[in-house]
Structure 1
Protein backbone atom coordinates (compact mmCIF):
# COMPACT_ATOMS: atom_id res chain seq x y z
CA UNK A 1 0.00 0.00 0.00
CA UNK A 2 2.85 2.44 0.79
CA UNK A 3 4.19 2.09 -2.75
CA UNK A 4 0.92 3.39 -4.24
CA UNK A 5 1.04 6.64 -2.23
CA UNK A 6 2.94 9.35 -4.08
CA UNK A 7 6.04 10.76 -2.36
CA UNK A 8 6.08 14.55 -2.77
CA UNK A 9 9.21 15.26 -0.75
CA UNK A 10 12.06 13.11 0.52
CA UNK A 11 15.08 14.02 2.63
CA UNK A 12 17.79 11.77 3.99
CA UNK A 13 19.93 13.10 6.84
CA UNK A 14 23.13 11.55 8.11
CA UNK A 15 25.07 12.55 11.24
CA UNK A 16 27.38 15.47 10.44
CA UNK A 17 28.56 16.61 13.87
CA UNK A 18 32.36 16.54 13.95
CA UNK A 19 32.42 15.87 17.70
CA UNK A 20 30.31 12.72 17.18
CA UNK A 21 32.64 11.42 14.49
CA UNK A 22 35.70 12.13 16.64
CA UNK A 23 34.16 10.49 19.72
CA UNK A 24 33.12 7.32 17.87
CA UNK A 25 36.40 7.02 15.95
CA UNK A 26 38.51 7.54 19.10
CA UNK A 27 36.50 4.89 20.92
CA UNK A 28 36.84 2.51 17.96
CA UNK A 29 40.59 3.18 17.72
CA UNK A 30 41.01 2.35 21.41
CA UNK A 31 39.04 -0.89 21.00
CA UNK A 32 41.22 -1.87 18.03
CA UNK A 33 44.37 -1.07 20.03
CA UNK A 34 43.11 -3.14 22.98
CA UNK A 35 42.17 -6.02 20.68
CA UNK A 36 45.52 -6.03 18.82
CA UNK A 37 47.57 -5.76 22.03
CA UNK A 38 45.82 -8.55 23.92
CA UNK A 39 44.58 -10.91 21.20
CA UNK A 40 47.19 -10.53 18.47
CA UNK A 41 50.35 -9.75 20.51
CA UNK A 42 49.21 -11.53 23.70
CA UNK A 43 50.08 -8.49 25.86
CA UNK A 44 47.33 -7.95 28.47
CA UNK A 45 46.33 -4.36 29.27
CA UNK A 46 46.00 -3.30 32.91
CA UNK A 47 46.55 -5.01 36.26
CA UNK A 48 43.37 -7.08 36.01
CA UNK A 49 42.92 -7.70 32.27
CA UNK A 50 39.66 -8.94 30.81
CA UNK A 51 39.47 -12.39 29.29
CA UNK A 52 40.06 -12.83 25.58
CA UNK A 53 36.38 -13.64 25.04
CA UNK A 54 35.32 -10.37 26.69
CA UNK A 55 37.87 -8.44 24.61
CA UNK A 56 36.59 -10.00 21.39
CA UNK A 57 32.95 -9.26 22.28
CA UNK A 58 33.72 -5.64 23.20
CA UNK A 59 35.83 -5.21 20.06
CA UNK A 60 33.02 -6.53 17.84
CA UNK A 61 30.44 -4.30 19.56
CA UNK A 62 32.38 -1.06 19.99
CA UNK A 63 35.25 -1.39 17.53
CA UNK A 64 33.29 -2.64 14.54
CA UNK A 65 29.48 -2.59 14.95
CA UNK A 66 28.98 0.82 16.61
CA UNK A 67 31.13 2.78 14.13
CA UNK A 68 29.52 1.04 11.16
CA UNK A 69 26.00 1.67 12.47
CA UNK A 70 26.55 5.24 13.62
CA UNK A 71 28.71 6.52 10.81
CA UNK A 72 27.82 4.28 7.91
CA UNK A 73 24.23 3.15 8.25
CA UNK A 74 22.46 5.67 10.50
CA UNK A 75 20.11 7.97 8.62
CA UNK A 76 16.91 9.89 9.17
CA UNK A 77 14.45 9.56 6.31
CA UNK A 78 11.68 12.14 6.03
CA UNK A 79 8.91 11.84 3.45
CA UNK A 80 5.86 13.91 2.69
CA UNK A 81 3.26 11.75 1.00
CA UNK A 82 -0.24 12.57 -0.16
CA UNK A 83 -1.74 11.30 3.11
CA UNK A 84 0.83 12.45 5.68
CA UNK A 85 4.39 12.83 6.89
CA UNK A 86 6.52 9.73 7.36
CA UNK A 87 9.71 9.60 9.46
CA UNK A 88 12.15 6.75 10.00
CA UNK A 89 15.46 6.64 11.90
CA UNK A 90 17.23 3.72 10.27
CA UNK A 91 18.36 1.16 11.56
CA UNK A 92 16.55 1.74 14.86
CA UNK A 93 13.07 1.95 13.33
CA UNK A 94 12.03 -0.81 10.97
CA UNK A 95 8.80 0.91 9.92
CA UNK A 96 8.05 4.55 9.23
CA UNK A 97 6.34 6.57 11.95
CA UNK A 98 3.43 8.24 10.22
CA UNK A 99 1.76 11.53 11.02
CA UNK A 100 -1.39 11.65 8.92
CA UNK A 101 -2.60 15.07 7.78
CA UNK A 102 -6.02 14.45 9.33
CA UNK A 103 -4.26 14.27 12.75
CA UNK A 104 -2.21 17.46 12.26
CA UNK A 105 -4.01 20.62 13.41
CA UNK A 106 -1.19 23.05 12.53
CA UNK A 107 2.44 23.14 11.42
CA UNK A 108 5.19 25.72 11.07
CA UNK A 109 8.91 26.01 10.44
CA UNK A 110 11.10 26.88 13.39
CA UNK A 111 14.64 27.29 14.59
CA UNK A 112 15.32 25.56 17.89
CA UNK A 113 18.08 24.07 19.99
CA UNK A 114 17.87 20.26 19.97
CA UNK A 115 20.19 20.17 22.99
CA UNK A 116 18.17 22.61 25.11
CA UNK A 117 14.68 21.57 24.06
CA UNK A 118 15.15 17.79 23.77
CA UNK A 119 18.54 17.00 25.31
CA UNK A 120 20.19 15.99 22.04
CA UNK A 121 19.67 14.41 18.65
CA UNK A 122 17.92 11.26 17.46
CA UNK A 123 14.42 10.33 18.57
CA UNK A 124 13.99 12.42 21.69
CA UNK A 125 11.22 13.19 24.16
CA UNK A 126 10.99 16.06 26.62
CA UNK A 127 9.04 16.70 29.82
CA UNK A 128 6.34 18.64 27.92
CA UNK A 129 5.34 15.50 26.00
CA UNK A 130 6.97 16.71 22.79
CA UNK A 131 8.86 14.39 20.46
CA UNK A 132 11.75 15.22 18.13
CA UNK A 133 13.21 13.40 15.16
CA UNK A 134 16.53 15.03 14.32
CA UNK A 135 20.05 14.07 13.32
CA UNK A 136 21.70 17.44 12.87
CA UNK A 137 21.04 21.13 12.60
CA UNK A 138 18.63 23.38 14.40
CA UNK A 139 15.89 23.95 11.85
CA UNK A 140 12.73 21.96 11.62
CA UNK A 141 9.00 21.78 11.18
CA UNK A 142 6.81 21.60 14.28
CA UNK A 143 3.63 19.56 13.93
CA UNK A 144 0.80 20.24 16.36
CA UNK A 145 -1.17 17.07 16.86
CA UNK A 146 -4.24 16.55 19.01
CA UNK A 147 -2.34 15.63 22.19
CA UNK A 148 1.28 16.62 21.59
CA UNK A 149 3.81 18.35 19.38
CA UNK A 150 6.36 16.71 17.11
CA UNK A 151 9.44 18.47 15.79
CA UNK A 152 11.03 17.03 12.68
CA UNK A 153 14.52 18.37 12.07
CA UNK A 154 15.32 19.19 8.46
CA UNK A 155 18.11 20.72 6.43
CA UNK A 156 15.52 22.10 3.98
CA UNK A 157 12.71 23.60 6.10
CA UNK A 158 11.21 25.70 3.29
CA UNK A 159 11.05 22.82 0.81
CA UNK A 160 9.62 20.53 3.51
CA UNK A 161 6.90 23.07 4.38
CA UNK A 162 6.12 23.72 0.71
CA UNK A 163 5.53 20.00 0.19
CA UNK A 164 3.10 19.97 3.13
CA UNK A 165 1.42 23.14 1.81
CA UNK A 166 0.97 21.57 -1.62
CA UNK A 167 -1.04 18.70 -0.13
CA UNK A 168 -3.25 21.09 1.85
CA UNK A 169 -3.90 23.25 -1.23
CA UNK A 170 -4.89 20.19 -3.23
CA UNK A 171 -7.51 19.14 -0.66
Structure 2
Protein backbone atom coordinates (compact mmCIF):
# COMPACT_ATOMS: atom_id res chain seq x y z
CA UNK A 1 0.00 0.00 0.00
CA UNK A 2 1.39 3.40 -0.98
CA UNK A 3 0.82 6.44 1.22
CA UNK A 4 0.97 9.64 -0.79
CA UNK A 5 1.28 11.88 2.29
CA UNK A 6 4.21 9.94 3.77
CA UNK A 7 6.65 11.91 5.89
CA UNK A 8 9.70 10.61 7.66
CA UNK A 9 8.61 7.98 10.16
CA UNK A 10 10.61 8.62 13.33
CA UNK A 11 9.07 5.91 15.52
CA UNK A 12 6.68 3.06 14.69
CA UNK A 13 4.84 0.65 16.96
CA UNK A 14 2.53 -2.16 15.86
CA UNK A 15 0.17 -3.65 18.46
CA UNK A 16 -1.84 -6.84 18.05
CA UNK A 17 -4.57 -8.26 20.29
CA UNK A 18 -3.18 -9.98 23.39
CA UNK A 19 -6.28 -10.40 25.52
CA UNK A 20 -6.89 -14.07 26.39
CA UNK A 21 -10.62 -13.40 26.76
CA UNK A 22 -10.81 -12.11 23.18
CA UNK A 23 -8.98 -15.20 21.89
CA UNK A 24 -11.31 -17.48 23.87
CA UNK A 25 -14.46 -15.78 22.54
CA UNK A 26 -13.34 -15.69 18.90
CA UNK A 27 -12.02 -19.25 18.90
CA UNK A 28 -15.11 -20.57 20.73
CA UNK A 29 -17.39 -19.06 18.10
CA UNK A 30 -15.18 -20.51 15.36
CA UNK A 31 -15.15 -23.96 17.00
CA UNK A 32 -18.95 -23.94 17.34
CA UNK A 33 -19.44 -23.12 13.64
CA UNK A 34 -16.87 -25.77 12.66
CA UNK A 35 -18.75 -28.32 14.76
CA UNK A 36 -22.06 -27.43 13.09
CA UNK A 37 -20.49 -27.52 9.63
CA UNK A 38 -18.84 -30.91 10.16
CA UNK A 39 -21.92 -32.42 11.81
CA UNK A 40 -24.47 -31.33 9.22
CA UNK A 41 -22.60 -30.79 5.94
CA UNK A 42 -19.91 -33.47 6.21
CA UNK A 43 -21.61 -36.16 8.32
CA UNK A 44 -25.18 -35.45 7.19
CA UNK A 45 -26.57 -35.23 10.75
CA UNK A 46 -28.92 -32.30 11.48
CA UNK A 47 -27.41 -29.54 13.61
CA UNK A 48 -29.96 -28.36 16.18
CA UNK A 49 -33.72 -28.82 16.60
CA UNK A 50 -34.55 -26.66 13.59
CA UNK A 51 -31.53 -27.05 11.31
CA UNK A 52 -30.93 -24.49 8.59
CA UNK A 53 -30.10 -25.46 5.05
CA UNK A 54 -26.58 -26.59 4.21
CA UNK A 55 -26.07 -23.44 2.12
CA UNK A 56 -26.85 -21.15 5.08
CA UNK A 57 -24.64 -23.22 7.37
CA UNK A 58 -21.76 -23.07 4.87
CA UNK A 59 -22.08 -19.26 4.66
CA UNK A 60 -22.13 -18.94 8.47
CA UNK A 61 -19.14 -21.31 8.72
CA UNK A 62 -17.17 -19.32 6.11
CA UNK A 63 -17.86 -16.02 7.91
CA UNK A 64 -17.57 -17.01 11.59
CA UNK A 65 -15.45 -20.15 11.30
CA UNK A 66 -12.82 -18.84 8.89
CA UNK A 67 -12.99 -15.13 7.94
CA UNK A 68 -13.83 -13.62 11.35
CA UNK A 69 -11.07 -15.43 13.32
CA UNK A 70 -8.47 -14.62 10.67
CA UNK A 71 -9.53 -10.97 10.55
CA UNK A 72 -9.68 -10.55 14.32
CA UNK A 73 -6.57 -12.44 15.28
CA UNK A 74 -4.29 -11.99 12.27
CA UNK A 75 -5.14 -8.69 10.58
CA UNK A 76 -6.34 -6.60 13.50
CA UNK A 77 -3.59 -4.27 14.64
CA UNK A 78 -3.06 -0.75 15.87
CA UNK A 79 -0.21 1.04 14.12
CA UNK A 80 1.26 4.19 15.70
CA UNK A 81 3.76 6.37 13.87
CA UNK A 82 5.52 9.47 15.12
CA UNK A 83 6.26 11.65 12.12
CA UNK A 84 7.75 15.12 11.79
CA UNK A 85 4.34 16.84 11.84
CA UNK A 86 2.42 14.70 14.32
CA UNK A 87 1.20 11.31 15.51
CA UNK A 88 -0.44 9.00 12.97
CA UNK A 89 -2.53 5.95 13.85
CA UNK A 90 -4.29 3.25 11.89
CA UNK A 91 -6.55 0.56 13.36
CA UNK A 92 -6.55 -2.14 10.69
CA UNK A 93 -8.71 -3.49 9.10
CA UNK A 94 -11.20 -0.84 10.21
CA UNK A 95 -9.31 2.27 9.08
CA UNK A 96 -8.42 2.47 5.40
CA UNK A 97 -6.15 5.49 5.94
CA UNK A 98 -4.01 6.81 8.76
CA UNK A 99 -5.69 9.21 11.17
CA UNK A 100 -3.38 12.11 11.87
CA UNK A 101 -3.06 14.15 15.02
CA UNK A 102 -0.91 17.12 14.07
CA UNK A 103 1.22 18.98 16.61
CA UNK A 104 -0.46 22.24 15.62
CA UNK A 105 -3.81 20.83 16.83
CA UNK A 106 -2.44 19.54 20.17
CA UNK A 107 -2.74 21.54 23.33
CA UNK A 108 -0.89 18.87 25.34
CA UNK A 109 -0.04 15.19 25.49
CA UNK A 110 1.13 12.88 28.24
CA UNK A 111 1.84 9.28 29.17
CA UNK A 112 -0.95 7.70 31.21
CA UNK A 113 -1.93 4.49 32.99
CA UNK A 114 -5.64 3.74 32.71
CA UNK A 115 -8.23 0.97 32.69
CA UNK A 116 -9.71 0.39 29.23
CA UNK A 117 -12.89 -1.01 30.85
CA UNK A 118 -13.42 1.82 33.32
CA UNK A 119 -12.63 4.63 30.92
CA UNK A 120 -14.00 3.26 27.61
CA UNK A 121 -15.88 0.03 28.34
CA UNK A 122 -13.30 -2.19 26.63
CA UNK A 123 -11.01 -2.40 23.63
CA UNK A 124 -11.31 -1.14 20.07
CA UNK A 125 -12.25 2.26 18.69
CA UNK A 126 -14.35 3.76 21.49
CA UNK A 127 -16.07 6.95 22.59
CA UNK A 128 -16.92 7.38 26.27
CA UNK A 129 -19.63 9.46 27.95
CA UNK A 130 -17.26 12.44 28.24
CA UNK A 131 -16.81 12.48 24.46
CA UNK A 132 -13.24 11.21 24.68
CA UNK A 133 -12.07 9.03 21.81
CA UNK A 134 -10.11 5.86 22.51
CA UNK A 135 -8.02 3.71 20.21
CA UNK A 136 -7.36 0.77 22.49
CA UNK A 137 -5.65 -2.48 21.49
CA UNK A 138 -4.32 -3.84 24.76
CA UNK A 139 -2.57 -3.04 27.99
CA UNK A 140 -3.09 -0.27 30.52
CA UNK A 141 -0.57 2.24 29.22
CA UNK A 142 -1.24 4.91 26.70
CA UNK A 143 -0.90 8.44 25.51
CA UNK A 144 -3.55 11.05 26.19
CA UNK A 145 -3.72 13.79 23.57
CA UNK A 146 -5.59 16.94 24.49
CA UNK A 147 -6.56 18.42 21.16
CA UNK A 148 -8.27 21.72 20.47
CA UNK A 149 -11.51 19.88 19.80
CA UNK A 150 -11.39 16.68 21.94
CA UNK A 151 -9.36 14.29 24.10
CA UNK A 152 -7.92 11.14 22.51
CA UNK A 153 -6.41 8.14 24.30
CA UNK A 154 -4.20 5.74 22.33
CA UNK A 155 -2.88 2.53 23.85
CA UNK A 156 0.84 1.88 23.51
CA UNK A 157 3.49 -0.48 24.85
CA UNK A 158 6.13 2.28 24.84
CA UNK A 159 4.54 5.58 25.93
CA UNK A 160 7.79 7.13 27.16
CA UNK A 161 9.58 6.51 23.85
CA UNK A 162 6.71 7.99 21.88
CA UNK A 163 6.53 11.06 24.16
CA UNK A 164 10.30 11.56 23.80
CA UNK A 165 10.11 11.46 19.99
CA UNK A 166 7.02 13.70 19.94
CA UNK A 167 8.78 16.24 22.19
CA UNK A 168 11.67 16.46 19.74
CA UNK A 169 9.49 17.31 16.76
CA UNK A 170 6.67 19.14 18.48
CA UNK A 171 9.05 21.89 19.59
CA UNK A 172 10.32 22.35 16.03
CA UNK A 173 6.74 22.70 14.73
CA UNK A 174 5.76 25.60 16.99
TM-score class normalised by the smaller sequence: over 0.9
Runs of 5+ unmatched residues, structure 1: none
Q: What's the Cα RMSD here?
A: 1.0
Q: How many residues align?
A: 170
Partner of 2:31: 29
Separation of aligned partners in 1, 2:130 and 2:24: 32
Cα deviation, residue 170, structure 1: 3.2
Partner of 1:120: 122
Specify the SS of the correspondent of 2:28.
helix
Partner of 2:5: 2
Runs of 5+ unmatched residues, structure 2: none
Establish whether residue 80 from structure 1 lines up as the match of residue 82 from structure 2: yes
Cα deviation, residue 58, structure 1: 0.6
Establish whether residue 100 from structure 1 lines up as the match of residue 122 from structure 2: no
Establish whether residue 67 from structure 1 lines up as the match of residue 69 from structure 2: yes
Q: If the length of structure 1 is used for normalisation, what is the TM-score?
A: 0.96
Separation of aligned partners in 2, 1:140 and 1:90: 18
Separation of aligned partners in 1, 2:74 and 2:23: 11
Separation of aligned partners in 2, 1:138 and 1:93: 22
Partner of 1:55: 57
Q: If the length of structure 2 is used for normalisation, what is the TM-score?
A: 0.95
Moved over 3 A (4+): none
